[in-house]
Amino acid sequence: MAIILVTGGAGFIGSHACLRLLETGNEIISLDSYVNSSKNVFKAINKICELKGINHELIKIYECDILDKKSVEDIFQNSINNNKEIQGVIHFAGLKSVKESEANPHKYWEVNFGGTLNLLKVMKNFNCRKLVFSSSATIYGETNKFPIAEDSQIKPINPYGKTKAAVEQLLLDIYNSEPNKWSITNLRYFNPVGSHHSGLIGEDPKGVPNNLFPIICKVANGEIEKLEIYGCDWPTIDGTGIRDYIHIEDLVEGHKKALELMFSEKKTSYRCINLGCGHGVSVLEMVKTFEKANNCRIKKVFEPRREGDVAKTYADISLAKKILGWKPKRSLYDVCKDGWKWAKTNPNGY
């Protein structure tokens, strides 16, 4: 049991992480500006807690921009004043659209890098030195070697991925500056998808979604007429792109394990760990599984390849298994069932 600051706690991954940490007896402080999320997520979290008999008063919510250092300091100070000193941080807050990062790199460097720098300065001032950081598989360069292990070349090709790689570098420098004090884990996510099995919380992208799974849900509920499949001529089993889709509940379990490890071990650590399901799934396989799980038809059409796409990517997850004692438990079928449960009952999000 610990007191954990979750930055970006209202977001897709952050909200599922808050819930899981509450379920396992931790106290949560959420910091979010709601630039890409809604405060209403906390009503849904409260509802799930009530249904499960979990004390939802153990979550404290702050509206705060991570770029506003003084406000971040106030959160740390308040927690001390309330005798609830923050012991560790999971840092989700950030911007995540590759496309937007190409159009507006300033914003991405400012929020993703500058925001993290602020957080780290405040953490150091308040003597809080346990951090789990949301990194991404986009930091890996193009490769022919699969599955992708953590020691693959780091060579991001877009500003979003570059900010994530730069933060990892910054975190390594910070760890090395006080190696006996900091414990840092960079979790490199592949493709997080699906929703909590209750269907009460899920992904609520603002604007038009770009990612496959939310688009399939919008085709299923008739909001989008058909799925445009970007490429039928990739060098893959069926010509469509292959990715490593991981159920959101498995992903956040990885965070819980990473925190538990940090709090249980005597030594400090700096680690980079992939979180994925460990195998590749094609667009057509995803569509077929969704249709089967939800007894529906997804209208689709083949379009040219999308700029910047790669044929395939999937993770080597042996390090997560070995170090965290973690492995994904949910199938692609669960992803499709749980994800649709949320999307069909909340077509307009929160």
Give the one residue of 147, 156, 159, 192 binding ligand NAD; rule: CB under 6 A: 192
Round to whole Å and give the CA distance between 129 and 249. Answer: 26
Q: Do residues 172 and 270 make contact, with C-beta atoms less than 8 angstroms apart?
A: yes
Give the one residue of 65, 102, 228, 285 binding ligand UDP; rule: CB under 6 A: 228
Residue with smaller CB distance to ligand UDP, 122 or 212: 212
* Terminal CA-CA length for the chain: 29
Q: How far is the CB of 63 from ligand UDP (least distance, A)?
A: 29
Q: Per-residue x/- mask for ligand UDP, residues 287 to 316, rule CB under 6 A?
A: -------------------x--x-------
308 DSSP assignment: T
149 DSSP assignment: P
Of the candidate spans 20-28, 88-96, 230-238, 275-283, the one that interacts with ligand NAD by CB under 6 A turns out to be 88-96
Give the one residue of 2, 24, 34, 321 binding ligand NAD; rule: CB under 6 A: 34
120-159 residues in contact with ligand UDP (CB under 6 A) are none
Strands 130-136 and 183-189: parallel
Structure-token pair, residue 234: 């990739």
Measured from the Cβ of residue 24, the count of other Cβ atoms closer than 10 Å reads 14
> By C-alpha distance, which of 256, 183, 215, 216 is closest to 13?
256
Structure-token pair, residue 56: 């939802």
Phi-psi region of 244 (alpha: psi -120 to 50; beta: other; left: phi over 0): beta
Active-site position among 160, 175, 189, 245: 160
Residue 189 contact among ligand UDP, ligand NAD, none, beta carbon within 5 to 8 Å by kind: ligand NAD
* Amino acid in position 267: K
- Residue 243 found at the interface with ligand UDP (CB under 6 A): yes
Number of residues counted as binding ligand NAD (CB under 6 A): 27
Residue with smaller CB distance to ligand NAD, 7 or 26: 7
- Residue 96 found at the interface with ligand UDP (CB under 6 A): no
Q: Which residues are catalytic?
A: 160
